[in-house]
Amino acid sequence: EPSAERHDREVIPADDPALRILTSQEVASGLMAVWARENTRSDIFDAMQRKEVYATTGTRIRVRVFAGWDFTPNDLDTIDFVTRGYVGGVPMGGDLTTAPTGKSPTFMIRALRDPDGANLDRVQIIKGWLDSDGDTHERIYDVALSDGRGIDANGRATEAVGNTVDVDNATYSNSIGAAMLTTHWVDPEFDPEQQAFYYVRVLEIPTPRWTTYDAAFFGIERPSNVPATLQDRAYTSPIWYTP
């Protein structure tokens, strides 16, 4: 329960103070979402079985992604966006196999902010692959950004989104970020002979951490062992490519 002392409770005691784990180091409970045809037990379990699911750090972001070989930017803005996604590709949790000659995976992504939460900072695709030596690699691509920011030659944002958090009062403003981000992205370094996976990560703008809210509400000193702010986020199930 909320209290002025809860941040300093021991989760795992230790004789060595450096090894103590305190409640202040914990984060809020996460959420899992499923894309089910209906809100029924059977359809929800079907969605989990086909891995059309994603998770968040507690926020209610909505995110949807489809991957295929022939999606175009025009497909993003259509009324039948979802139908086109299923017909022309696979959703999160799906599998792509044997790339057509000369083609790379194309992705359609839509992300919508929590209606009671913070605006969105960016959408990322995290790609992992297995090289010919059996070594694993991962790379982060920023694929959609708020506030007109650019993406450099390495696929990363040229500048941060900013920070509106007032730490003393535990407030923030949605004067930065975007309510919705959409993008069409093509893997620029696709190797059709390499196994790979792709998942989407959506980041909110910075907001006060729960310990910052507690400090402002109870009029206590904010714990110095944790950040004052965080960026809540969503993670999708990966889409797998197998040659």
- The per-residue pLDDT for 162 is 97
pLDDT on residue 12: 79
Tens of pLDDT, residues 180-194 = 999 999 999 999 999
Report CA Rg, the chain: 20
Hey, where are the domains in the chain? Answer: 58-242
Band of the pLDDT at 60, cuts 50, 70, 90? very high
Whole-prediction pTM value? 0.93
Give the integer Cα–Cα distance in Å for 55 and 114. 13
- Token readout for 31 is 């959420």
The percent of residues above 70 in pLDDT, for the chain, comes to: 100
Per-residue pLDDT, averaged over 5-12, amounts to 80
Number of H helices, E strands in the chain: 3, 16
pLDDT in tens, 190-223: 999 999 999 999 999 999 999 999 999 999 999 8
Q: Which of 116, 125, 241 is nearest to 181 (CA)?
A: 125
How many other CB atoms are found less than 10 A from the CB of residue 126?
Answer: 16
What does the alpha-carbon distance between residue 43 and residue 34 come to, in Å, rounded to a whole number? 10
Break the chain down into helix, strand, coil percent, rounded to 5: 15, 35, 50
